[in-house]
Structures are given as C-alpha cells and as structure tokens.
Amino acid sequence: MTRSASRYLPAARSLFQYTLALAVVLLFANVASAQDAPAEGTAQKENLVLFMIKSLGFVFGPLLLALSVAMMALVVLLALDLRMTSAIPPGFVDEFTDIVNKRKFKEAFDMARNDPSFLGQVLTAGMSRLQYGLEDAREAAMNTLDSIKSDKEQKNNYNAVIASLGPMIGLVGTVYGMIKSFSVLAVPGVQVKPAELADGISHALVVTLFGVAISVPAIFFNAFYRNRITKVTMDVGHIADDLLTQMYHNSKKAAGGAATVGPSGAGPSGTVPAAPTGR
C-alpha cells in the first residue's frame, strides 16, 4: 500500500502546481482586461471573475482555493488507485493460473509478492498461510483486502470532509459579510454609501457561492468512489479466493493429499514433495 501511494505523489504534486499556475494566469488575465476595458458600460461584466476574486478576500480566498486543490488531488489519486488495471493487472490471472497448473508454487508466490496490485498483495497474504489450510489462507487474504479497502475509504472520507467544510466556510463568510454591511448602516449621522454597503453583501454572496461550488463535486466524488471501492474490492476478493482454492487443490494433487504450501515453495524444484497416503 505504501508503494502504491508513493507512486502517485509526483502526480499529486504536479496537479497542485498546474492548478496554482492556472489560478495565477486567470488572475493576471482578468487584471489585464480590467486595465484595457473602458471605464463605462461593459467594464463590470468583463471583470466579473476579478470582482469575485476580490470579494473573496485574503482569508476566505486562499482557504477555499486550498480546499479545491485538495479535492482535485484526492480525486486524481483515487482515480489512479482504483483503476481496474491497478487492482487486477491484465494477464495476471491467466499467467498465475498457468504457473499453478504446472505446480510451480514458488514461482507463483514470487509472482504475487513482486506485484504491487491489490490482487498481488491479497494473494501474497493468503499464500503465506496456505500451509495451515485453505480457511486460514482465506482469512489472511480477506484481512489484507479489508486493510486495503480501509486505506482507500480513509482517503475518500476526506472528500466528505471537504463537502461539509465548503458550505460551513460559505456560511461563515456570509455572516461576516452581513456584519460588515450592517456595521456601515449602524454608524449614526453618516450618509450610507451604496458601494460600502454592496462590498459586504458581495463578499457574503461570493463566499457562499464558492463554498457550495466546492461542496457539490465533493459530494458526487465521495459517493462515486465509495461505490467504486466496494466494486473493486469485491472483484479482487472473488478472484483471490478462486486462485487460492485452485492453488490449494493443485498442491494437494501434487503431494498426494498431504502436502503444504508455504512462502518459500516446498522444494528446490518449486513443487511440493509427495507424501504417502496409504493407498
């Protein structure tokens, strides 16, 4: 699991850099358009993005940006982790089955141990306990599968956290913006300027908008990956159980019903030595 996660750290780092660069480009593009636009008429419409960025402020803007970048990084990491090719490599099952049918159990164990996929990790755990019986091997394999599933669910839970934080931050921004607007109205004997009043209201609305905009995709991806994790782990569990059962029965045939299969194979030739059965 550690090796699998470390493979995608460069991808997450690159995603963060690209997102930050895109935000900077959009900001400077709108600044340039603000300088070139006329002071009347359509200037306000052309600079709507810049106006919204300014309305976010120096506190809520970076905070919401960090949440959006974190969500995108989680989505990419989970998409890479939960690909079917990462869970069950193409050709792995056929090659493993062929090796087991030839009773090369040590080669089969090495093949599973050297494969970082979900199926490889589950098979390695199960095969290391196969010498104690099929049920013990199945239990070890399922424990490893549950550990993998738990790791992916923990990552996906952060999407749920982001989905909850988005509206909460938006609500805080709304309250702050309304307080800012009413503080202008609360000054006695001073004529209220519409621009000062609109500043607080726009801050409240923009922060709420961005908070909800982050929350909606986070809710979707949390539900999507929750179902995806369940499907992938179920497929891996079924295939691993079939392969362990096949390997167990092949080892029994090779040994005449009294052999064991362990991590180191059972003999220098990679096959399990036969034992007398009394027949």
User: pLDDT tens digits for 173-211?
Assistant: 889 888 888 887 777 766 777 777 778 888 888 889 999
Instruction: Let me know: does 266 contact 105? Beta carbons within 8 Å.
Output: yes
pLDDT at 234: 94
User: Which DSSP letter does residue 260 get?
Assistant: -
What residues have CB less than 8 Å from 152, skipping those under 6 apart?
A: 78, 81, 82, 225, 229
The tokens describing 218, both together, are 């986070």
214-248 pLDDT per residue, tens: 999 999 999 999 999 999 999 999 999 999 998 88
Asked if residues 122 and 241 have their Cβ atoms less than 8 Å apart, the reply is: no
Q: Which residues, including other chains, have CB under 8 Å from residue 24's CB and lie 6 or more apart?
A: none
Token pair for 223: 């539900």
**pLDDT surpassing 70 at residue 66:** yes
Instruction: Quickly tell me which residue has 């079939």 as its tokens.
Output: 242
Q: What is the CA radius of gyration of the chain?
A: 29
CA-to-CA distance for 37 and 41, rounded, in angstroms?
Answer: 10
Q: Print the SS3 string covering 134-201.
A: HHHHHHHHHHHHHHHHHHHHHHHHHHHHHHHHHHHHHHHHHHHHHHHHHHHHCCCCCCCCHHHHHHHH
Q: How far is CA 66 from CA 129, 222, 226, in A?
A: 45, 18, 23
Domain ranges of the chain: 2-35+44-253
Distance, first Cα to last Cα, the chain:
46
Structure tokens at 237: 């569990």
Strand partners, 262: 265
Asked if residue 34 has pLDDT above 60, the reply is no
Please report the pLDDT score of residue 197 as a whole number.
Answer: 77
User: Apex CA 265: angle with CA 94 and CA 148, to 5°?
Assistant: 60
272 pLDDT above the threshold of 50 = no
The answer to whether the beta carbons of residues 101 and 250 sit under 8 Å apart is yes
pLDDT of residue 163 exceeding 80, the answer is yes
Q: Across the chain, what does the average pLDDT equal?
A: 78
Closest alpha carbon to 261 in 271, 111, 122, 269 = 271
More confident residue, 40 or 61: 61
At residue 145, the pLDDT reads 94
Look at the chain and count its residues.
Answer: 279
